[in-house]
Amino acid sequence: MFFHRLPLYQRDGSLNRLPYFLAGVVLLIIKHSLDWLTATVLFDRPWSPFRYFVLPAPVLELASLPEDDRLFYGTLLALALPFIVVGVLLTMQRLRAVGLPVALIVFFFVPVANLFFFLVLSILPTRPEPIPVIRTETGNAPSTTDWRITPQFQQVAAQYRDSEHWQRIRSTHRRVTHDSSLASAGLSLAITVPVAIAFVYLSANVLQNYGVGLFVGMPFCVGLGSVVLFGLARPQSFGTCMAVTFLATTLVGLGVLFIALEGAICLLMAAPLGYALAFLGGALGYAIQSRPWAMDASPWMLLLLLGSLPSLMAAEAVTPSETRLLEVCSAVEINAPVPAVWEHVISFPELPEPNDWLFRAGVAYPLRAEIKGQGVGAVRYCVFSTGAFVEPIEVWDAPHVLGFRVEDQPEPMREWSPYAIHPPHLDGFLVSRRGCFHLVELPDGRTRLEGTTWYTNRMWPEFYWQLWSDVIIHRIHLRVLNHIKQLTEGDPLASAARE
């Protein structure tokens, strides 16, 4: 077996692609099997490969989780540590073998991107021979030497550029671009952008899945693919590679907007994540395109990306999604007694038009609240700009607690778009489950009014989209709570009761 020959502890060791690929696959199977047994046998919980995309959020929140969840995720983290150590060591050896910077080990820790990183390292050929470091007369290697401009490097580069395989690709590329960097960038964009838009359509409209394949894998592959295509004829500078990466990402977003696949608001929300991952993919592409032996395998690498990304999207779409119940709680203090506040909690009149930019941009906002009946079984209707939430009352502890479940809800937003569009994520992805108003009596006849919403979100990565959804729900809470505060404090009867 080849495993006993893996150079885990050799500082300058290297690892060929076949042993690296086989070791990674075997370790992945063992790791998944252990996690599946731990989840299903020890903790009686479901488990699937896509749980690994959800894990970062609960692991980062480990200290604040309930005891059962803390024990579960803590056990998984402990099991993962030896696999992380072995994976890092193997990947460092493989990076040395390919001749890529060891600093690229950071990709090992980026969910989803690490899968493409593993596949890329499994395809790229090992550097054919060590490139000697130029030394001074004293025998010391100067720290400022750039090995890529040494005669030894140029000799290896010429060997690959003169190969039949390389010449065939390069001559075709030259006929199209006339060896112009600008034309090479244009060709890269002309290929990358339409393919990426097609993947967006596949994931969002065909598979109706807004997951890590779309929001993580796709921008990472856009950055990687656009830069590799850009440097196909000759190595390009880091700055121009990043310019092509960000331009490709921007054009994909504009294309998605103008062919009516998505609205501007959601694209702006996704932009920070998309640009960050495109940068990572572009940085990996830059390192690859600057090494001719790595570029010799670029057609196979690009074909791998074309096949693996839609496969990931499809596998994610057919896997049952597992969502956590998330909670947002907001509060205001009101200069009025609890009974007076209660009257405006169960229903309140029309709110003024919002000044908040988020609501003016299209996010749904509350207009008024109505209630039919009294006590448990009554139905509260919270009317938003896009429709009404139907909220059957489950807890009626007047005048302290009003609890309800959400039976029906309207669209969470109206998209900014040149067209009348209805993207699939407007239905059943961000879903309110329950809500509660809690009135706490404070000294001097004041009241602390707390509003809480429990919701689920099926857009991944969860931790990123939770940042947005928490902010939006908090803004909605404050719009309602501050309106109740103004109504109550402006009520003469409430002021008299407080005095």
Rounded alpha-carbon distances, angstroms, from residue 305 to 83, 154, 169, 275, 301? 25, 29, 18, 18, 6
Stretch 40-61: mean pLDDT, rounded? 74
Q: Which pLDDT belongs to residue 406?
A: 96
| pLDDT given for residue 2 in this prediction | 45
Distances (CA, A) of 303 to 27, 179, 293, 300, 306: 25, 24, 17, 5, 5
Q: Give the per-residue pLDDT at 491.
A: 62
Is the per-residue pLDDT at 495 higher than 50? no
Give the tens place of pLDDT for each residue, 68-108.
878 888 888 899 899 999 999 999 999 999 888 999 999 99
Q: Which helix (H) or strand (E) holds 463?
A: helix 462-489
The three state secondary structure string of 373-392 is CCCCCCEEEEEECCEEEEEE
User: From the centroid of its chain, how far is CA 37?
Assistant: 28
CA–CA dist 268, 156 (Å, integer): 45
Per residue in 387-430, pLDDT (tens digit) is 999 999 999 999 999 999 999 999 999 888 888 888 998 888 99
Q: What pLDDT, on the 0 to 100 scale, is given for residue 290?
A: 85
Distance CA 381, CA 406 (A): 10
- Structure tokens that stand for 485 in this block: 């505060």
Residue 153's alpha-carbon distances to 75, 148, 160, in angstroms, are: 48, 6, 11
Q: Report all structural domains of the chain as residue ranges with CATH numbers, in order of start.
A: 1-98 (no CATH), 174-320 (no CATH), 326-498 (3.30.530.20)
Stretch 195-210: mean pLDDT, rounded?
94
Least confident of 138-147, 164-173, 475-484: 138-147
Per-residue model confidence (pLDDT) at position 61: 66
Q: DSSP of 434-446, one letter per residue?
A: EEEEEEEE-GGG-
Enter the DSSP assignment of 204.
Answer: I
- Tell me: the pLDDT tens digits for 349-381? 889 889 888 898 889 999 999 999 999 999 999
3-class DSSP state of 247: helix
**Cα end-to-end distance, the chain, whole Å:** 86
Say yes or no to pLDDT of 382 above 90.
Answer: yes
Whether pLDDT at 166 is above 80: no
Q: What is the pLDDT of residue 57?
A: 62
**Per-residue pLDDT, 126:** 85
In the structure encoding, which two tokens stand for residue 444, read together? 């001097």
